[in-house]
Structure 1
């Protein structure tokens, strides 16, 4: 019996890096530190792993040995968010039984009125040698990609989005979880809260949602988390961030806290990075956390240099979510049915929330 063919997970263990980092080295679609890249390639050479070879794999089993992962945002920006890194780690583990590599793609439609070019994401989805595709989110723009993939007969899994009937979904209980954080603030006695959201759509423009503004987020995660916060604070002002980043939270926080007469006593941020930025903006103004202002986040990531704060947040199983998507890919490529799964977040109370100033 021949020895088991090494997988990308084996290479990652040997190189002491995450599976997603090892996969990125072979995809070539995102920057990796030269020392890390060298360590991964050395480990791969020692194990006899040369990466996914579409031609050899197709001769062997009629597959390319590649699973595409489609992001809407720029790949460099996507991997600034630890949630995406953990998700990719799980995804790489999930597809490891296939011996498959991950091909990172960004979905860029061709300019209006122009024919697709070799640099557009639409053409990549038409021609990329992939066995299956994982869509990270599914806004209106990614729906166009879905039609391309359906026409090619390629299995599709959607993470945190709704691609319609028949497309398996891996998602979180976003609305229920965000409602839990908002209810925590209400129980503490807060009546004036502000909300800092993730991007509303693929344009990723920051702004303020004025009362009566009919706009609804096109991105499923943003929409569900906003609904959960509004279940408890229906009239809370909404500040839209352009990305899940600390600097975006800092800008939103500066706007929210600028008017001392209209300042809220609590801020509900849709990510931990946004929450950290809001807290930094409070520190700039000498506003104490949580004595003067309570802040909640969402994700449960580790924030370096954030002491003495322990963020009150919702902890999501990012790695398990990615692994479930990878396992669904394996099932579908082996002839089984894709299964939708819904993960539950865990509320974690930290030291960034407390009673409002009027009750202390």
Structure 2
């Protein structure tokens, strides 16, 4: 009788590409150049590969669904690029390929037919159509970020956003800030809701005014801050905590336009994995959500669900975030009061 035939790993070696690239090329998914896709398929045909016979390479899928429907390139965001690199390495180390789906809703049919053993969903929002399709297929799912309506058996990896938000706000208050604004309220994923709720509670507990400035990814000049930064002294924010990666640059642009000195008149902390914030003038204080750790732990949990489902306790696997304080949030000269 004939042997089991070539595997995806055999094709990857012959074509001198990764197993993930072979999965993308043969499945018509991912961002694979046309010449590479054609070469992989030619190698597969020459080796006599048939997707319907022999052992199939175990494959995990990954989708960022918080803004599904928009053709945005999440790989350009440092958080996602770092998580994807770590998740890919973790999957390969465990003998799995990793297929990354595009954000555009044009890929929706793939969610119902994609040949994967399990899925990682990043920032899944309420009413997520990807999640509905995966649950209908009975595929194991692990989430990056708490799902909006978790089921009893769901597993997710996340930070403690309540504790992190309070740490940032306490840090800013200790540096002398009294009117701290939050740059948030854009996404519908749990992260945004959790940080905004923690901020509102923190302000209420201290009798401090709360100001949530809406984030707009297209607002590079930071015009969302124009009204707040033009307000009289005691009504103007003296600190900002930005929830999204581009927010810090938007605040810096708005502060420069309004002549506000950082940190003497305005302190700044931004949740970001972008190393350029550390190299700026002034260097910007940042919060890392530690995406590399989240990616590795999410893959480990998903593989465990696939290989020993009864051994994975449901609920949250918590990865502590970390605040790195730099010049942008230091105490103003002369003491903690402005």
TM-score greater than 0.5 by the shorter chain: yes
Please say if residues 87 and 319 of structure 1, whose CA atoms lie closer than 8 Å, have aligned partners that are also in contact: yes
2:80 to 84, 99, 112: 84
**Which deviates the most, 220-229 or 192-201?**
192-201
Question: Residue by residue, what CA displacement relative to the aligned partner does 1:36-63 show, whole Å, maximum 9, x if unpaired?
Answer: x98xx59x98xxx97xxxx856633466
Q: Secondary structure at the match of 1:106?
A: coil
C-alpha distance in 2, partners of 1:86/1:23? Answer: 21
Question: Residue by residue, what CA displacement relative to the aligned partner does 1:109-135 show, whole Å, maximum 9, x if unpaired?
Answer: xxxxxxxxxx462x3322222221111
- Aligned match of 1:135: 121
Structure 1 length-normalised TM: 0.72
Give 1:177 deviation, angstroms: 0.5
Question: Residue by residue, what CA displacement relative to the aligned partner does 1:281-325 show, whole Å, maximum 9, x if unpaired?
Answer: 101222110011011111343127952222212222111111111
RMSD over aligned CA atoms reads 3.9
Please say if residues 189 and 356 of structure 1, whose CA atoms lie closer than 8 Å, have aligned partners that are also in contact: yes
- Aligned match of 1:100: 97
C-alpha distance in 2, partners of 1:190/1:25? Answer: 53
- Aligned match of 2:111: 125
- Aligned match of 1:145: 130
Q: Counterparts of 1:1-360 in structure 2 under 5 Å? A: 59-61=53-55, 65-73=59-67, 74-96=70-92, 97-106=94-103, 108=105, 119=106, 121=108, 123-142=109-128, 144-162=129-147, 163-201=150-188, 219-234=189-204, 235-243=209-217, 247=219, 250-261=222-233, 262-303=235-276, 307-336=280-309, 337-338=311-312, 340-355=316-331, 359=337
Cα 1:141–1:248 change in 2 (3 A) is: farther
C-alpha distance in 1, partners of 2:308/2:124? Answer: 24
Cα 1:173–1:194 change in 2 (3 A) is: same
Give 1:178 deviation, angstroms: 1.2
**Which deviates the most, 154-163 or 68-77?**
68-77
C-alpha distance in 2, partners of 1:259/1:78? Answer: 35
Please say if residues 20 and 85 of structure 1, whose CA atoms lie closer than 8 Å, have aligned partners that are also in contact: no
Give 1:107 deviation, angstroms: 7.1
Q: Secondary structure at the match of 1:124?
A: helix
Structure of larger gyration radius: 2
C-alpha distance in 2, partners of 1:179/1:304? Answer: 21
Give 1:176 deviation, angstroms: 0.8
C-alpha distance in 1, partners of 2:266/2:295? Answer: 34
C-alpha distance in 2, partners of 1:359/1:320? Answer: 38
Question: Residue by residue, what CA displacement relative to the aligned partner does 1:134-188 show, whole Å, maximum 9, x if unpaired?
Answer: 111222121x433322221211011112233211101111121111000111122
Question: Residue by residue, what CA displacement relative to the aligned partner does 1:176-228 show, whole Å, maximum 9, x if unpaired?
Answer: 11110001111223221111015242xxxxxxxxxxxxxxxxx2000111123
C-alpha distance in 1, partners of 2:306/2:330? Answer: 50
C-alpha distance in 2, partners of 1:277/1:9? Answer: 44
Cα 1:271–1:354 change in 2 (3 A) is: same
Structure 2 length-normalised TM: 0.76
Equivalent residues, number: 311
**Uncovered stretches (5+) of structure 2, i.e. residues with no partner:** 1-6
C-alpha distance in 1, partners of 2:12/2:290? Answer: 20
